Structure 1
């Protein structure tokens, strides 16, 4: 029974009413609705150009250095996430871990900056921003 109802299809009948009065009332209602949108919504309220009165600003905290938490060393990329949306206060409450990555020492890329001991380094590292 439910399958027959599910697979059945019905179309409504179209009825043409040949009455001048019904047609006039129908068109008057359509014109009233159209006049409402044009007159009140668009011209009076100017809803097409509504502006937000809230001053959009943001406070960004710059994080430098590293932190330690639960035996892990965290850097600025672990702390800072961009805010998503307007009027949002973001507090990082969970950390996204990237598997198969480890923090450690990277080999130096340029010969003049390779150091065997701390005395070999003259403190002329490449300018990387926060270095």
Structure 2
């Protein structure tokens, strides 16, 4: 189980992560990752020291939420998939930047996916979501 401070529970938090985050899908999961923008202390015009903003952000842990729809399967299958994803995310949440929000959406393929395959899909999706966006020239 994730700690209470690490769980997303409000629909507004889920909606903000889905709307404002980077989306990446791999295999059986789709992740939406929102990483807070850290302020550069050299460009700050406020008279407050830069260490105050860092201390405030350090106190906010990375949070995660899960979406497993009825398309995945019946209640038994959905809960099994949710438990597996929760265990996988618990191991990886500390590696995310503080203040990050991660929403993991299970696709119907997650019902038949093995634990190692879910882990590989989750790792690949998070890696893509964390990578900087490439600019495409048209």
Taking structure 1 as the reference length, the TM-score comes to 0.23
Please state which structure has a larger fraction of its residues in helix: 2
Please state which structure has a larger fraction of its residues in strand: 2
Determine which structure has more spread, i.e. the larger CA radius of gyration.
Answer: 1
